[in-house]
Structure 1
Protein backbone atom coordinates (compact mmCIF):
# COMPACT_ATOMS: atom_id res chain seq x y z
CA UNK A 1 0.00 0.00 0.00
CA UNK A 2 1.35 3.42 -0.88
CA UNK A 3 0.09 6.95 -0.40
CA UNK A 4 1.99 9.65 -2.26
CA UNK A 5 1.87 13.23 -1.07
CA UNK A 6 1.98 14.03 -3.79
CA UNK A 7 -9.94 29.50 -24.96
CA UNK A 8 -14.71 29.09 -26.20
CA UNK A 9 -13.38 31.53 -28.82
CA UNK A 10 -13.22 35.04 -27.40
CA UNK A 11 -14.18 38.21 -29.12
CA UNK A 12 -11.36 40.73 -28.91
CA UNK A 13 -13.07 42.59 -26.07
CA UNK A 14 -14.35 39.66 -24.03
CA UNK A 15 -12.45 39.04 -20.76
CA UNK A 16 -11.13 35.64 -19.76
CA UNK A 17 -12.08 34.27 -16.35
CA UNK A 18 -11.47 30.94 -14.54
CA UNK A 19 -11.37 28.10 -13.81
CA UNK A 20 -7.67 27.30 -14.15
CA UNK A 21 -6.23 23.83 -14.66
CA UNK A 22 -2.93 22.89 -13.07
CA UNK A 23 -0.10 21.35 -15.10
CA UNK A 24 2.93 19.97 -13.25
CA UNK A 25 6.01 19.88 -15.45
CA UNK A 26 9.59 18.88 -14.75
CA UNK A 27 10.51 21.51 -12.20
CA UNK A 28 7.62 23.81 -13.16
CA UNK A 29 4.10 24.58 -12.00
CA UNK A 30 1.65 26.07 -14.51
CA UNK A 31 -1.97 27.16 -14.36
CA UNK A 32 -3.72 27.10 -17.74
CA UNK A 33 -6.85 28.94 -18.82
CA UNK A 34 -7.99 28.25 -22.39
CA UNK A 35 -10.78 29.74 -24.50
CA UNK A 36 -10.89 28.53 -28.07
CA UNK A 37 -7.51 29.46 -29.56
CA UNK A 38 -6.67 32.00 -26.86
CA UNK A 39 -4.71 30.75 -23.89
CA UNK A 40 -3.49 32.32 -20.68
CA UNK A 41 -0.93 30.58 -18.51
CA UNK A 42 0.78 31.41 -15.25
CA UNK A 43 4.11 29.59 -15.27
CA UNK A 44 6.68 29.29 -12.47
CA UNK A 45 9.98 27.44 -12.61
CA UNK A 46 11.23 26.12 -9.28
CA UNK A 47 10.54 28.71 -6.58
CA UNK A 48 10.51 31.68 -8.99
CA UNK A 49 7.47 33.94 -9.10
CA UNK A 50 4.85 33.14 -11.76
CA UNK A 51 4.95 34.80 -15.18
CA UNK A 52 1.76 35.51 -17.15
CA UNK A 53 1.93 34.07 -20.67
CA UNK A 54 -0.67 35.17 -23.22
CA UNK A 55 -1.28 33.49 -26.57
CA UNK A 56 -3.96 35.70 -28.17
CA UNK A 57 -6.51 34.34 -30.61
CA UNK A 58 -6.05 35.26 -34.26
CA UNK A 59 -2.97 37.39 -33.57
CA UNK A 60 0.10 36.64 -35.66
CA UNK A 61 2.42 39.67 -35.56
CA UNK A 62 5.74 39.55 -37.41
CA UNK A 63 7.40 40.32 -34.07
CA UNK A 64 6.13 40.85 -30.56
CA UNK A 65 6.41 44.55 -29.69
CA UNK A 66 8.62 45.58 -26.76
CA UNK A 67 5.63 47.16 -25.01
CA UNK A 68 1.86 46.89 -25.03
CA UNK A 69 -0.72 49.36 -23.86
CA UNK A 70 -2.96 48.11 -21.07
CA UNK A 71 -6.34 49.60 -20.29
CA UNK A 72 -7.90 49.00 -16.89
CA UNK A 73 -11.68 49.17 -16.48
CA UNK A 74 -14.02 49.41 -13.56
CA UNK A 75 -16.74 48.15 -15.89
CA UNK A 76 -16.50 46.20 -19.12
CA UNK A 77 -17.53 49.20 -21.23
CA UNK A 78 -15.69 52.18 -19.79
CA UNK A 79 -11.88 52.38 -19.98
CA UNK A 80 -10.67 54.22 -16.92
CA UNK A 81 -6.89 53.92 -16.70
CA UNK A 82 -4.13 53.42 -19.28
CA UNK A 83 -0.52 52.37 -18.95
CA UNK A 84 2.31 50.95 -21.03
CA UNK A 85 4.03 47.79 -19.86
CA UNK A 86 7.06 45.90 -21.21
CA UNK A 87 6.45 42.44 -22.64
CA UNK A 88 8.62 39.66 -24.08
CA UNK A 89 7.96 37.04 -26.76
CA UNK A 90 7.28 33.55 -25.48
CA UNK A 91 9.68 31.97 -27.96
CA UNK A 92 9.49 28.78 -29.96
CA UNK A 93 6.84 28.45 -32.64
CA UNK A 94 4.13 30.00 -30.47
CA UNK A 95 2.71 33.45 -31.05
CA UNK A 96 2.21 35.47 -27.90
CA UNK A 97 3.86 37.43 -25.15
CA UNK A 98 4.73 37.17 -21.47
CA UNK A 99 4.46 39.76 -18.75
CA UNK A 100 5.20 40.03 -15.05
CA UNK A 101 1.77 39.88 -13.34
CA UNK A 102 3.05 41.81 -10.31
CA UNK A 103 4.28 44.65 -12.52
CA UNK A 104 0.98 44.52 -14.41
CA UNK A 105 -1.04 44.78 -11.20
CA UNK A 106 0.98 47.79 -10.06
CA UNK A 107 -0.14 49.83 -13.08
CA UNK A 108 -3.57 50.35 -11.50
CA UNK A 109 -5.07 50.28 -8.02
CA UNK A 110 -7.02 47.23 -6.91
CA UNK A 111 -10.40 48.82 -7.64
CA UNK A 112 -9.73 48.37 -11.36
CA UNK A 113 -10.93 44.85 -12.11
CA UNK A 114 -10.41 44.20 -15.83
CA UNK A 115 -7.30 44.67 -17.95
CA UNK A 116 -7.15 44.65 -21.76
CA UNK A 117 -3.98 44.46 -23.88
CA UNK A 118 -3.58 46.64 -26.99
CA UNK A 119 -0.91 46.89 -29.66
CA UNK A 120 0.02 50.54 -30.26
CA UNK A 121 -2.36 52.13 -32.77
CA UNK A 122 -4.91 49.31 -32.54
CA UNK A 123 -8.53 50.01 -31.65
CA UNK A 124 -9.27 46.44 -30.55
CA UNK A 125 -7.60 44.57 -27.67
CA UNK A 126 -5.71 41.38 -28.41
CA UNK A 127 -6.76 39.86 -25.08
CA UNK A 128 -8.49 40.73 -21.81
CA UNK A 129 -8.48 39.14 -18.37
CA UNK A 130 -9.95 39.93 -14.97
CA UNK A 131 -7.63 40.81 -12.10
CA UNK A 132 -9.32 38.19 -9.91
CA UNK A 133 -8.54 35.51 -12.50
CA UNK A 134 -4.84 36.40 -12.39
CA UNK A 135 -4.96 36.29 -8.60
CA UNK A 136 -6.65 32.89 -8.43
CA UNK A 137 -4.28 31.42 -11.02
CA UNK A 138 -1.27 32.77 -9.14
CA UNK A 139 -2.54 31.23 -5.90
CA UNK A 140 -2.98 27.91 -7.71
CA UNK A 141 0.64 27.98 -8.92
CA UNK A 142 2.03 28.99 -5.53
CA UNK A 143 0.21 26.12 -3.84
CA UNK A 144 1.82 23.77 -6.35
CA UNK A 145 5.22 25.28 -5.53
CA UNK A 146 4.61 24.77 -1.80
CA UNK A 147 3.69 21.12 -2.39
CA UNK A 148 6.83 20.60 -4.46
CA UNK A 149 8.94 22.03 -1.68
CA UNK A 150 7.26 19.67 0.78
CA UNK A 151 8.47 16.64 -1.18
CA UNK A 152 11.88 18.06 -2.13
CA UNK A 153 14.76 15.58 -1.68
CA UNK A 154 17.16 18.29 -0.46
CA UNK A 155 20.85 17.58 -0.93
CA UNK A 156 20.18 14.00 -2.00
CA UNK A 157 23.13 12.85 0.10
CA UNK A 158 22.85 10.03 2.67
CA UNK A 159 21.50 11.04 6.07
CA UNK A 160 23.74 10.89 9.11
CA UNK A 161 21.04 12.23 11.42
CA UNK A 162 17.55 10.72 11.20
CA UNK A 163 14.37 12.79 10.85
CA UNK A 164 12.58 13.54 14.12
CA UNK A 165 8.79 13.69 14.42
CA UNK A 166 7.65 16.92 16.06
CA UNK A 167 3.93 17.03 15.27
CA UNK A 168 1.16 14.66 14.17
CA UNK A 169 -2.24 15.92 15.38
CA UNK A 170 -4.67 13.05 15.93
CA UNK A 171 -8.22 13.07 17.32
CA UNK A 172 -10.89 10.47 18.10
CA UNK A 173 -12.69 11.51 14.93
CA UNK A 174 -9.80 10.07 12.89
CA UNK A 175 -10.69 6.48 13.85
CA UNK A 176 -12.21 4.94 10.70
CA UNK A 177 -15.93 4.48 11.27
CA UNK A 178 -16.05 1.03 9.70
CA UNK A 179 -13.12 -0.13 11.84
CA UNK A 180 -14.74 1.24 14.99
CA UNK A 181 -18.06 -0.49 14.18
CA UNK A 182 -16.27 -3.78 13.61
CA UNK A 183 -14.13 -3.41 16.72
CA UNK A 184 -10.93 -3.46 14.67
CA UNK A 185 -7.74 -2.63 16.59
CA UNK A 186 -4.07 -3.23 15.99
CA UNK A 187 -0.66 -1.75 15.25
CA UNK A 188 0.29 -0.46 11.82
CA UNK A 189 4.04 -0.35 11.23
CA UNK A 190 4.79 2.34 8.66
CA UNK A 191 7.92 3.27 6.77
CA UNK A 192 7.77 6.92 5.66
CA UNK A 193 9.98 8.90 3.32
CA UNK A 194 10.48 12.30 4.95
CA UNK A 195 11.40 15.12 2.59
CA UNK A 196 14.01 17.81 3.17
CA UNK A 197 11.09 20.07 4.14
CA UNK A 198 10.07 17.71 6.96
CA UNK A 199 6.93 16.37 5.25
CA UNK A 200 6.01 12.78 4.46
CA UNK A 201 6.30 12.37 0.69
CA UNK A 202 5.63 8.61 0.69
CA UNK A 203 4.22 6.12 3.15
CA UNK A 204 4.24 2.32 2.97
CA UNK A 205 2.71 -0.16 5.37
CA UNK A 206 5.58 -2.40 6.46
CA UNK A 207 3.60 -4.53 8.93
CA UNK A 208 -0.19 -4.55 8.73
CA UNK A 209 -2.48 -4.09 11.70
CA UNK A 210 -4.75 -6.70 10.15
CA UNK A 211 -7.23 -3.99 9.12
CA UNK A 212 -7.12 -2.36 5.69
CA UNK A 213 -9.06 0.64 7.03
CA UNK A 214 -6.60 1.23 9.87
CA UNK A 215 -3.57 0.78 7.60
CA UNK A 216 -4.90 3.17 4.95
CA UNK A 217 -5.81 5.79 7.53
CA UNK A 218 -2.41 5.55 9.24
CA UNK A 219 -0.56 6.45 6.06
CA UNK A 220 -3.12 9.06 5.01
CA UNK A 221 -2.79 10.88 8.33
CA UNK A 222 0.99 10.73 8.22
CA UNK A 223 1.10 12.18 4.71
CA UNK A 224 -1.37 14.98 5.49
CA UNK A 225 -0.31 16.00 8.99
CA UNK A 226 3.07 14.73 10.12
CA UNK A 227 5.78 17.36 10.55
CA UNK A 228 9.40 16.33 11.08
CA UNK A 229 12.71 17.97 11.71
CA UNK A 230 14.27 16.76 8.45
CA UNK A 231 17.26 14.46 8.33
CA UNK A 232 20.69 15.97 7.79
CA UNK A 233 23.61 14.84 5.68
CA UNK A 234 27.26 14.89 6.75
CA UNK A 235 27.49 18.59 5.86
CA UNK A 236 24.46 19.50 7.98
CA UNK A 237 22.19 20.04 4.98
CA UNK A 238 18.58 18.83 4.96
CA UNK A 239 18.07 15.65 2.99
CA UNK A 240 15.29 13.13 2.56
CA UNK A 241 15.41 9.95 4.61
CA UNK A 242 13.18 7.13 5.84
CA UNK A 243 11.51 7.04 9.23
CA UNK A 244 9.78 4.00 10.71
CA UNK A 245 6.97 4.38 13.19
CA UNK A 246 4.40 1.99 14.69
CA UNK A 247 0.88 3.30 15.23
CA UNK A 248 -1.40 1.54 17.72
CA UNK A 249 -5.14 1.80 17.12
CA UNK A 250 -7.20 1.15 20.26
CA UNK A 251 -10.84 1.53 21.21
CA UNK A 252 -10.44 0.72 24.91
CA UNK A 253 -7.71 1.10 27.52
CA UNK A 254 -6.64 4.41 26.07
CA UNK A 255 -3.76 4.94 28.50
CA UNK A 256 -2.18 1.51 28.13
CA UNK A 257 1.40 1.71 26.82
CA UNK A 258 1.68 0.48 23.24
CA UNK A 259 4.31 -2.15 22.42
CA UNK A 260 6.33 -1.67 19.27
CA UNK A 261 5.58 -3.58 16.12
CA UNK A 262 8.66 -4.58 14.18
CA UNK A 263 10.90 -2.12 16.04
CA UNK A 264 12.07 -3.33 19.41
CA UNK A 265 11.96 -0.72 22.12
CA UNK A 266 10.33 1.95 19.98
CA UNK A 267 7.05 3.29 21.38
CA UNK A 268 3.87 3.05 19.33
CA UNK A 269 1.47 5.98 19.04
CA UNK A 270 -2.04 5.62 20.37
CA UNK A 271 -4.43 7.01 17.79
CA UNK A 272 -7.48 6.43 19.93
Structure 2
Protein backbone atom coordinates (compact mmCIF):
# COMPACT_ATOMS: atom_id res chain seq x y z
CA UNK A 1 0.00 0.00 0.00
CA UNK A 2 2.96 2.32 0.62
CA UNK A 3 3.98 2.18 -3.04
CA UNK A 4 0.42 2.87 -4.16
CA UNK A 5 0.18 5.85 -1.82
CA UNK A 6 3.50 7.24 -3.02
CA UNK A 7 2.63 6.88 -6.70
CA UNK A 8 -0.86 8.31 -6.14
CA UNK A 9 0.72 11.62 -5.14
CA UNK A 10 2.17 11.87 -8.65
CA UNK A 11 -1.23 11.49 -10.30
CA UNK A 12 -3.49 14.54 -9.82
CA UNK A 13 -7.01 14.52 -11.15
CA UNK A 14 -6.45 17.50 -13.42
CA UNK A 15 -3.48 17.61 -15.74
CA UNK A 16 -0.64 15.32 -14.71
CA UNK A 17 0.38 12.11 -16.52
CA UNK A 18 -1.83 10.70 -19.25
CA UNK A 19 -3.80 7.47 -19.01
CA UNK A 20 -1.01 5.31 -20.44
CA UNK A 21 1.40 6.54 -17.78
CA UNK A 22 -1.18 6.01 -15.05
CA UNK A 23 -1.69 2.43 -16.22
CA UNK A 24 2.07 1.94 -16.18
CA UNK A 25 2.24 3.03 -12.54
CA UNK A 26 -0.67 0.74 -11.72
CA UNK A 27 1.19 -2.09 -13.42
CA UNK A 28 4.19 -1.48 -11.18
CA UNK A 29 2.06 -1.83 -8.05
CA UNK A 30 0.32 -4.87 -9.53
CA UNK A 31 3.65 -6.61 -10.13
CA UNK A 32 4.63 -5.98 -6.52
CA UNK A 33 1.28 -7.20 -5.20
CA UNK A 34 1.33 -10.41 -7.28
CA UNK A 35 4.87 -11.41 -6.35
CA UNK A 36 4.97 -15.18 -5.68
CA UNK A 37 1.26 -15.44 -6.55
CA UNK A 38 1.44 -19.21 -7.26
CA UNK A 39 2.23 -19.72 -3.57
CA UNK A 40 -0.70 -17.84 -2.07
CA UNK A 41 -3.30 -17.22 -4.80
CA UNK A 42 -5.49 -20.23 -4.02
CA UNK A 43 -5.39 -19.84 -0.23
CA UNK A 44 -6.42 -16.20 0.20
CA UNK A 45 -8.42 -15.45 3.33
CA UNK A 46 -10.88 -12.57 3.59
CA UNK A 47 -8.42 -10.46 5.57
CA UNK A 48 -5.66 -10.94 2.99
CA UNK A 49 -8.09 -10.26 0.16
CA UNK A 50 -8.94 -6.91 1.73
CA UNK A 51 -5.24 -6.08 1.98
CA UNK A 52 -4.78 -6.94 -1.70
CA UNK A 53 -7.74 -4.82 -2.77
CA UNK A 54 -6.67 -1.62 -1.04
CA UNK A 55 -3.74 -0.73 -3.33
CA UNK A 56 -5.63 -1.85 -6.42
CA UNK A 57 -8.55 0.40 -5.58
CA UNK A 58 -6.21 3.32 -4.85
CA UNK A 59 -4.41 2.95 -8.18
CA UNK A 60 -7.60 2.33 -10.17
CA UNK A 61 -9.02 5.58 -8.79
CA UNK A 62 -5.89 7.38 -9.94
CA UNK A 63 -6.21 5.85 -13.42
CA UNK A 64 -9.79 7.10 -13.80
CA UNK A 65 -9.07 10.46 -12.10
CA UNK A 66 -11.82 9.95 -9.54
CA UNK A 67 -12.67 10.73 -5.94
CA UNK A 68 -11.29 8.38 -3.33
CA UNK A 69 -14.84 7.53 -2.22
CA UNK A 70 -15.46 5.49 -5.41
CA UNK A 71 -16.00 1.81 -4.70
CA UNK A 72 -13.59 -1.00 -5.55
CA UNK A 73 -15.93 -2.58 -8.12
CA UNK A 74 -16.67 0.68 -9.93
CA UNK A 75 -13.07 1.92 -9.95
CA UNK A 76 -11.62 -1.35 -11.24
CA UNK A 77 -14.28 -1.74 -13.93
CA UNK A 78 -13.83 1.80 -15.22
CA UNK A 79 -10.04 1.39 -15.13
CA UNK A 80 -10.28 -1.96 -16.93
CA UNK A 81 -8.36 -3.71 -14.18
CA UNK A 82 -9.57 -7.21 -13.20
CA UNK A 83 -9.39 -7.98 -9.47
CA UNK A 84 -5.84 -8.90 -8.58
CA UNK A 85 -6.91 -12.01 -6.70
CA UNK A 86 -8.22 -13.34 -10.03
CA UNK A 87 -4.97 -12.33 -11.71
CA UNK A 88 -3.16 -14.26 -9.01
CA UNK A 89 -5.20 -17.38 -9.78
CA UNK A 90 -4.27 -17.06 -13.46
CA UNK A 91 -0.58 -16.92 -12.58
CA UNK A 92 -0.92 -19.86 -10.19
CA UNK A 93 -2.79 -21.98 -12.74
CA UNK A 94 -0.25 -21.17 -15.45
CA UNK A 95 2.64 -22.05 -13.15
CA UNK A 96 1.05 -25.38 -12.18
CA UNK A 97 0.35 -26.22 -15.82
CA UNK A 98 3.94 -25.53 -16.83
CA UNK A 99 5.33 -27.55 -13.93
CA UNK A 100 3.15 -30.53 -14.83
CA UNK A 101 4.30 -30.30 -18.44
CA UNK A 102 7.94 -30.31 -17.35
CA UNK A 103 7.35 -33.35 -15.15
CA UNK A 104 5.88 -35.15 -18.15
CA UNK A 105 9.01 -34.34 -20.12
CA UNK A 106 7.27 -31.93 -22.49
CA UNK A 107 9.08 -28.96 -23.96
CA UNK A 108 6.64 -26.05 -24.18
CA UNK A 109 7.14 -23.40 -26.82
CA UNK A 110 6.16 -19.73 -26.24
CA UNK A 111 3.14 -20.10 -28.52
CA UNK A 112 1.69 -22.82 -26.29
CA UNK A 113 2.27 -20.78 -23.15
CA UNK A 114 0.56 -17.73 -24.65
CA UNK A 115 -2.39 -19.83 -25.79
CA UNK A 116 -2.79 -21.27 -22.30
CA UNK A 117 -2.50 -17.80 -20.78
CA UNK A 118 -5.25 -16.57 -23.11
CA UNK A 119 -7.51 -19.46 -22.06
CA UNK A 120 -7.00 -18.63 -18.40
CA UNK A 121 -7.70 -14.97 -19.07
CA UNK A 122 -11.03 -15.93 -20.59
CA UNK A 123 -11.87 -17.86 -17.43
CA UNK A 124 -10.87 -14.80 -15.41
CA UNK A 125 -13.16 -12.53 -17.43
CA UNK A 126 -16.11 -14.86 -16.94
CA UNK A 127 -15.56 -14.96 -13.18
CA UNK A 128 -15.11 -11.19 -13.02
CA UNK A 129 -18.35 -10.64 -14.90
CA UNK A 130 -20.14 -13.02 -12.54
CA UNK A 131 -18.91 -10.98 -9.59
CA UNK A 132 -20.10 -7.77 -11.23
CA UNK A 133 -23.55 -9.29 -11.59
CA UNK A 134 -23.75 -9.08 -7.79
CA UNK A 135 -21.93 -5.83 -6.92
CA UNK A 136 -21.81 -4.76 -3.30
CA UNK A 137 -21.31 -1.08 -4.16
CA UNK A 138 -21.22 1.17 -7.22
CA UNK A 139 -24.41 -0.39 -8.55
CA UNK A 140 -25.33 2.33 -11.07
CA UNK A 141 -22.04 2.53 -12.94
CA UNK A 142 -21.51 -1.24 -12.84
CA UNK A 143 -25.00 -1.82 -14.22
CA UNK A 144 -24.31 0.69 -17.00
CA UNK A 145 -20.94 -0.70 -18.07
CA UNK A 146 -21.47 -4.44 -17.59
CA UNK A 147 -23.70 -4.93 -20.70
CA UNK A 148 -20.88 -3.49 -22.86
CA UNK A 149 -18.03 -4.70 -20.68
CA UNK A 150 -16.11 -6.38 -23.50
CA UNK A 151 -16.34 -3.27 -25.68
CA UNK A 152 -15.34 -1.05 -22.75
CA UNK A 153 -12.23 -3.08 -21.99
CA UNK A 154 -11.17 -3.51 -25.63
CA UNK A 155 -11.92 -0.01 -26.93
CA UNK A 156 -9.13 1.83 -28.71
CA UNK A 157 -10.44 5.33 -28.08
CA UNK A 158 -11.43 7.52 -25.16
CA UNK A 159 -9.76 8.39 -21.88
CA UNK A 160 -11.58 9.20 -18.66
CA UNK A 161 -11.27 12.74 -17.36
CA UNK A 162 -11.90 14.10 -13.87
CA UNK A 163 -15.28 15.54 -14.84
CA UNK A 164 -16.40 12.63 -16.99
CA UNK A 165 -15.69 10.28 -14.09
CA UNK A 166 -17.76 12.48 -11.77
CA UNK A 167 -20.84 12.03 -13.96
CA UNK A 168 -20.31 8.30 -14.45
CA UNK A 169 -19.82 7.56 -10.76
CA UNK A 170 -21.96 10.23 -9.10
CA UNK A 171 -19.01 11.11 -6.87
CA UNK A 172 -18.33 14.77 -7.49
CA UNK A 173 -19.89 18.20 -7.49
CA UNK A 174 -23.47 17.08 -6.93
CA UNK A 175 -25.70 18.12 -4.04
CA UNK A 176 -26.39 14.51 -3.10
CA UNK A 177 -22.71 13.64 -2.86
CA UNK A 178 -21.67 16.91 -1.20
CA UNK A 179 -24.39 16.48 1.42
CA UNK A 180 -23.27 12.92 2.05
CA UNK A 181 -19.68 14.00 2.79
CA UNK A 182 -20.78 17.00 4.86
CA UNK A 183 -19.99 19.75 2.37
CA UNK A 184 -23.62 20.79 1.84
CA UNK A 185 -26.47 20.99 4.38
CA UNK A 186 -29.01 19.54 1.91
CA UNK A 187 -28.84 17.53 -1.34
CA UNK A 188 -31.02 20.01 -3.26
CA UNK A 189 -30.11 21.31 -6.70
CA UNK A 190 -28.94 24.93 -6.60
CA UNK A 191 -29.15 25.32 -10.38
CA UNK A 192 -32.82 24.61 -11.11
CA UNK A 193 -34.27 25.21 -7.64
CA UNK A 194 -37.00 22.62 -8.16
CA UNK A 195 -35.29 19.31 -7.47
CA UNK A 196 -34.76 18.14 -3.91
CA UNK A 197 -31.81 15.93 -4.87
CA UNK A 198 -29.01 17.00 -7.20
CA UNK A 199 -27.48 13.75 -8.44
CA UNK A 200 -25.44 12.77 -11.48
CA UNK A 201 -28.61 11.36 -13.06
CA UNK A 202 -30.50 14.60 -12.42
CA UNK A 203 -27.66 16.55 -14.03
CA UNK A 204 -27.48 14.23 -17.01
CA UNK A 205 -31.19 13.76 -17.70
CA UNK A 206 -33.44 16.29 -15.97
CA UNK A 207 -31.95 19.57 -14.76
CA UNK A 208 -33.29 22.41 -16.96
CA UNK A 209 -30.20 24.49 -16.23
CA UNK A 210 -28.25 22.30 -18.65
CA UNK A 211 -30.87 22.06 -21.41
CA UNK A 212 -28.61 23.57 -24.07
CA UNK A 213 -25.71 21.23 -23.38
CA UNK A 214 -28.10 18.28 -23.09
CA UNK A 215 -29.64 19.00 -26.48
CA UNK A 216 -26.25 18.69 -28.15
CA UNK A 217 -25.54 15.49 -26.24
CA UNK A 218 -28.91 13.96 -27.14
CA UNK A 219 -28.23 14.58 -30.81
CA UNK A 220 -24.90 12.77 -30.54
CA UNK A 221 -26.24 9.87 -28.46
CA UNK A 222 -29.25 9.37 -30.77
CA UNK A 223 -30.83 6.95 -28.30
CA UNK A 224 -34.50 7.57 -29.03
CA UNK A 225 -34.63 10.35 -26.47
CA UNK A 226 -32.95 8.28 -23.76
CA UNK A 227 -30.04 9.77 -21.86
CA UNK A 228 -29.89 7.06 -19.24
CA UNK A 229 -26.45 6.12 -17.98
CA UNK A 230 -26.45 2.77 -19.86
CA UNK A 231 -27.37 4.56 -23.11
CA UNK A 232 -24.63 7.12 -22.59
CA UNK A 233 -22.00 4.47 -21.83
CA UNK A 234 -23.06 2.49 -24.90
CA UNK A 235 -22.65 5.63 -26.99
CA UNK A 236 -19.20 6.21 -25.54
CA UNK A 237 -17.86 2.78 -26.44
CA UNK A 238 -19.62 2.82 -29.81
CA UNK A 239 -17.48 5.50 -31.41
CA UNK A 240 -14.87 8.13 -30.70
CA UNK A 241 -17.37 10.82 -31.70
CA UNK A 242 -19.85 9.53 -29.14
CA UNK A 243 -17.19 9.45 -26.44
CA UNK A 244 -16.13 13.01 -27.23
CA UNK A 245 -19.73 14.23 -27.15
CA UNK A 246 -20.31 12.80 -23.67
CA UNK A 247 -16.94 14.07 -22.44
CA UNK A 248 -17.71 17.55 -23.80
CA UNK A 249 -21.08 17.64 -22.02
CA UNK A 250 -19.50 16.58 -18.74
CA UNK A 251 -16.68 19.09 -19.07
CA UNK A 252 -18.96 22.03 -19.89
CA UNK A 253 -21.52 21.28 -17.17
CA UNK A 254 -19.18 20.23 -14.37
CA UNK A 255 -16.95 23.29 -14.81
CA UNK A 256 -20.00 25.48 -14.20
CA UNK A 257 -21.16 23.38 -11.25
CA UNK A 258 -17.70 23.52 -9.67
CA UNK A 259 -17.54 27.31 -10.11
CA UNK A 260 -20.96 27.68 -8.47
CA UNK A 261 -19.90 25.44 -5.60
CA UNK A 262 -16.79 27.55 -5.00
CA UNK A 263 -18.94 30.68 -4.90
CA UNK A 264 -21.29 29.11 -2.36
CA UNK A 265 -18.31 27.97 -0.35
CA UNK A 266 -16.86 31.48 -0.27
CA UNK A 267 -20.18 33.06 0.74
CA UNK A 268 -21.14 30.44 3.32
CA UNK A 269 -20.55 30.89 7.03
CA UNK A 270 -21.10 27.20 7.79
CA UNK A 271 -18.00 25.55 9.33
CA UNK A 272 -18.34 22.57 7.01
CA UNK A 273 -18.01 24.87 3.99
CA UNK A 274 -15.12 27.02 5.18
CA UNK A 275 -12.06 27.18 2.97
CA UNK A 276 -9.77 25.55 5.54
CA UNK A 277 -6.64 27.46 4.72
CA UNK A 278 -7.13 27.49 0.97
CA UNK A 279 -6.99 23.73 0.49
CA UNK A 280 -10.19 23.72 -1.58
CA UNK A 281 -8.64 26.14 -4.08
CA UNK A 282 -6.28 23.45 -5.30
CA UNK A 283 -8.35 20.37 -4.44
CA UNK A 284 -9.07 19.67 -8.10
CA UNK A 285 -5.36 19.49 -8.81
CA UNK A 286 -4.66 16.81 -6.24
CA UNK A 287 -6.13 13.41 -5.48
CA UNK A 288 -9.26 14.21 -3.40
TM > 0.5 fold call = no
TM value normalised by structure 1: 0.26
Structure with greater strand percent: 1
Higher relative contact order (CA 8 A, sep 6+): 2
Structure with greater helix percent: 2
Which of the pair has more CA radius of gyration? Answer: 1
TM value normalised by structure 2: 0.25
